[in-house]
Amino acid sequence: MSNDTSSVLEKLGYIFRVIDAVYLFRNEKNNDFCKRSMMRSFFIQVDNVTKIAPRVKNTLYKDGVIDITLKKSLEELLKKLLASYEKSYDIIRDKLGAHNQPIDILSLHNWWNGIDYSSIEVLYGDIKEIQSTFESIEEINFLNIPDYSPIDIPLDSELYQGEVVPSFAIDRLAFSKPNTTYMVSCHDTQDKAQLILSIIEFLEVDFAVTVATNNPTTIYTRMVFDIGWMLAIVDLCSLIDNLFVDTQHDKSLLQYWKGDMGGYNILLKVESARDHVLEDSVRKLRNTLAAHIDDFDTISDIYKLYEQLDLMAVHAYAVMLVNAFRNACRLDIRTKIFLVQNVPLSGVVSIQKSVKPFEN
């Protein structure tokens, strides 16, 4: 096989292992929000399969490793996967996973519900068919995860599936939380702040996963540890973008608040003091491994970027930005509402929810 073929095969094998790990994670005894939050990685990796697997197929055919019959068989399987994913589940990847972008509340409700046991099973089945067909080729054998045992989740963890007391939340996914009442925004500025709160909630899950799997002793827990950090990298970039960067999709919170919002000066001060060296390292990893796989470098070289990254500095930087947002919200009566996040409601017995659970 050519070097190019070996390189893309290595990338595809890595993608399959991440998919296996996050697929196994759906069985962990953690809460519904955590499961859906972690499953965002699954949809990022499905997108990677639709990009990398065709390259593997084409290089194998070019090298004469497979004939036209097997090439067409792989094309049909990839077409089947793409039909399930594209223009449907790719929205989960784009709006809730690799990016956190504006989306209307009804669509958000539908797509968050779309991250469920059934959709994962269907897409996973399609992917395993593709993997098995590649493995029918002589000398191709992807490494599977050989060891699985449930993660020991601490009782005080963000991930723990415990009883939820009636509470009030403001993030844009608050509607999905059991026993929770929430606010429907009435202005684009509120939409943006709610989106940022949801990113903060994602980061809390990401970091809780890395804590629960720290010092991993199995391949599975090591993979989950990495998945937690990859999502943290993606979510940190989304937090930075939504706080400070104007894009074609939306203005930044800094721009929305410019003028008369009390917390504007705090955000402006933080924006002017951003650690661009750290941010560049984080974004490079996001663009080459966490959100999608780089086309040019080998997976080993890309993974070295992750191993060289100061993870504690990344965590500290995320905490600093979260605290800056909260401090900014304290300075204006119109934004203090965003500090009322996951606050228990006294005197309320229960709140009926319409969102279906992950397991259906």
Domain boundaries, the chain: 3-135, 167-344
Q: Strand pairing partners for 168?
A: 181, 343
**Secondary structure of residue 30 in the 3-state scheme:** strand
Task: Report the pLDDT averaged over residues 336-344.
Answer: 87
Q: What is the pLDDT of residues 215-265, one digit of tens each?
A: 898 999 999 999 999 999 999 999 999 999 998 778 999 999 998 888 999
3-state per-residue secondary structure call for 76-138 = HHHHHHHHHHHHHHHHHHHHHHCCCCCCCHHHHHHHHHHCCHHHHHHHHHHHHHHHHHHHCCC
- Mean pLDDT of the residues in the chain: 89
**Secondary structure of residue 15 in the 3-state scheme:** helix
Ramachandran sector of residue 348 (left: φ over 0; alpha: ψ -120 to 50; beta: rest): beta
**Which letter does DSSP use for residue 151 in this model?**
-
The token pair that represents 264 in the structure block:
């504007």
d(CA 113, CA 359): 11
Beta strands in 152-213 (DSSP E): 167-169, 180-182
The listed CATH number (3.40.50, 1.10.357, 2.40.160, 1.20.120) that belongs to domain 3-135: 1.20.120
42 CB-near residues (< 8 Å, 6+ apart):
19, 22, 23, 120, 123, 124
- Asked if residues 344 and 166 have their Cβ atoms less than 8 Å apart, the reply is yes
pTM: 0.93
d(CA 45, CA 51): 10
- Asked if residues 206 and 233 have their Cβ atoms less than 8 Å apart, the reply is no
Q: What is the pLDDT of residues 2-22, one digit of tens each?
A: 777 889 999 999 999 999 999
